[in-house]
Amino acid sequence: MILSCFMFHFQATLGFFALPTEPSNIVESLITNLIILLGAILLTSGEDGRSRAEQLLHILRQLDPYVSASAEHQRRRGCVAVHEVLVKFRNLCSGGFGASGSYPTLSLKHIDQGGPRGSSSLPSAFVLPNRDSLSLGERIMAYLPRCADTDDEVRKVAIQIIALFFNISLSLPKQKTSANDIDLESSYGALSSLEDIVSIIRRASVDQIEVFHRVVSSVCTLLSKDEVDNIS
């Protein structure tokens, strides 16, 4: 009930991302709490992996205007929020859907007891979303321009977001028959190259054009043909 009321005001609430940076102590803690709330919405909504993936996409699409805002601080907040929500989603994927229960505070106890093992006898609540439900082509196109952002914090988080998306997608089953157009070996190579870029991006000596070039080339390897076809 409380959650559905909140969802009703979801868009209005995200408007806080547009607040100015001052007074910084108040605004920063508000933004932090808002990001925690987004993670909680993801954890408490949906009964199985599939509906959680839908919820994830809903949240991410609502964040798009901030991710691409002209104000630097809004882009920073948008990207940090996307990253946090994705980390939560990845934890759900690796902990097993449903295993964490409806409330995040119960998760540790429940994961200890159950976990994703013996999945054949598990109810549908444990069903993983498939890779196709992430709309990877669309999502990567939302974050790729940020990898060449003028702000270095935005650039770094954007590359982390893209690496996380592929980290998650490689752990998910693929639905379409074109599953075999993903070469796993080169995918893992491209993903670890993305992670390497994240670790060096802050160095002053790093050529930003070269960094962007490497990100694009990893993305080209990681996206399947049908994901690229779906971008337009």
Ligand X SMILES: *[C@@H]1O[C@H](CO)[C@@H](O)[C@H](O)[C@H]1NC(C)=O
- Name the site residues for ligand X (rule: CB under 6 A): 167, 170, 191
Residue with Cβ nearer ligand X (74 or 133)? 133
Cα–Cα dist 3/1, whole Å:
5
Residue with Cβ nearer ligand X (1 or 184)? 184
What would the two tokens of residue 44 be? 């408490």
Residue with Cβ nearer ligand X (31 or 162)? 162
According to DSSP, residue 147 is labeled G
Residue with Cβ nearer ligand X (10 or 188)? 188
Q: Considering just the CA atoms, what is the radius of gyration of the chain in Å?
A: 18
Cα–Cα dist 90/225, whole Å:
24
Count of beta carbons in the 10 Å neighbourhood of residue 23 = 8
CB of 51 to ligand X, least distance (A): 23
Residue with Cβ nearer ligand X (67 or 93)? 93
CB of 55 to ligand X, least distance (A): 21
Half-sphere exposure of 133 (CA within 13 A, CB side): 19
C-beta nearest to ligand X: residue? 167
CB of 134 to ligand X, least distance (A): 14
Nearest 5°: the CA angle 205, 71, 16 is 125
Count of beta carbons in the 10 Å neighbourhood of residue 56 = 25
Calculated CA dihedral for residues 83, 136, 38, 31, nearest 10 degrees: 40
CB of 220 to ligand X, least distance (A): 18
CB of 2 to ligand X, least distance (A): 32
